Amino acid sequence: MSDWKLKDMKIEEIIGLVPELNRKFTQYEALSGGFSNQTFKVITEPRSYVLRLNSKQNEYLNLTRQSEVEVMRKASQMGIAPEVIYADDPKRFFVTTYSEGRMLEKDDLQTKTIRTMIMDRLKSIHRMDIAQRTCTPYDLIFGYLKGADLFKVKQPQELKQILGRVEKIAYKRSDDKTYNNKFCHNDSFLCNMIFTGDQLQIIDWELSGIGDIFFELTLIPFSNRFNEAEEREWLTMYFGRLEEDAFHIFQDMKFVSMVREVAWGMFYSGLTKDEPANDFDYYKFAEYCVQRIENGIYSI
């Protein structure tokens, strides 16, 4: 394929490159929910698809788009992700089937059936055997910060001390060979879970890789501000029982999750600085997360 840039092409032109979309294309619409990539629902006469235009973040995280596609295909075979339809140029974009349903919301967590489905999906992900793709929470933090440094993004003065604690947690977690060496989605927020009525489909696998399941388990609780009782119930659902050591690890990894948000916000404030303004201030979000960390609050 020639060296073209997606930003210089109209969506209709990109659709025209994909036979499955171009044959009976009727219309497309932007999808909400993501901050990293642009996604569109493309409607054809037989069915609907998702066209995702990829950002450049993976170039800074040492994760290839081709390996992401391979993960998605395996997850689709397991019945937990949409089918990949087109991925001839995955660095720029790919196409999957569209899952008719809705993103999960906080209120859904009050339903035991939904919570059980989420746990089943997480356990399925953690059993995936894809050893060649690694992405730990520390890879994410320091990859984002390296990118932010390249963009000359100002570091909050509290960051050095915060990173010191991250390094101590990473050292402690390195001894856990049972739960610190499993395949993880690493972005398993509610917005990446599509409820179809009787199934739960997981989308956006770009950060997936061998990592720490305790990091994975924090993502929904810390982003939905679980209280201690809810956290304990969450961990019990996953492990079958709750030991105090696991609860303390979970608290450490909530801290790591918050620091990942800081690094992500800094990185994207640099990555998007030359793009048209949008409604989200990435650097302000990073500062907000730093302040909450300083106040001992590990939730967003």
DSSP element (H, E) containing 201: strand 200-202
Alpha-carbon separation of residue 54 from 123, 203, 240 (angstroms): 27, 14, 38
For residue 102, give the 3-state DSSP assignment. strand
> 143-185 pLDDT, tens per residue?
999 999 999 999 999 999 999 999 999 999 999 989 999 999 9
Q: Please name the CATH architecture into which domain 103-294 falls.
A: Alpha-Beta Complex (3.90)
Chunked mean pLDDT (size 10), the chain, 300 residues: 51 87 82 79 90 88 93 97 94 93 96 96 96 93 97 96 97 94 96 93 96 98 97 97 95 98 96 76 96 95
Give the pLDDT confidence score for residue 4 in this predicted structure: 41
3-class DSSP state of 180: coil
Top CATH class of 6-99 equals: alpha beta
The DSSP symbol for 241 reads S
Nearest to 216 by CA among 244, 193, 250, 245: 250
**Residue range(s) occupied by CATH 3.30.200.20 in the chain:** 6-99
Q: What is the mean pLDDT of the chain?
A: 92
Whether the Cβ atoms of residue 298 and residue 292 lie closer than 8 Å to each other: yes
Which percentage of the chain shows pLDDT scores above 70? 95
- DSSP H stretches of helix in 127-223: 137-150, 159-173, 213-223
* pLDDT score recorded for residue 278: 67
DSSP letter string, 40-65: EEEEESS-EEEEEE--SHHHHHT--H
Q: To which H or E segment does residue 183 belong?
A: strand 182-184
pLDDT of residue 285: 97
pLDDT digits (tens, 9 = 90+) for 33-79: 666 788 999 998 888 999 999 888 888 898 999 999 999 999 999 99
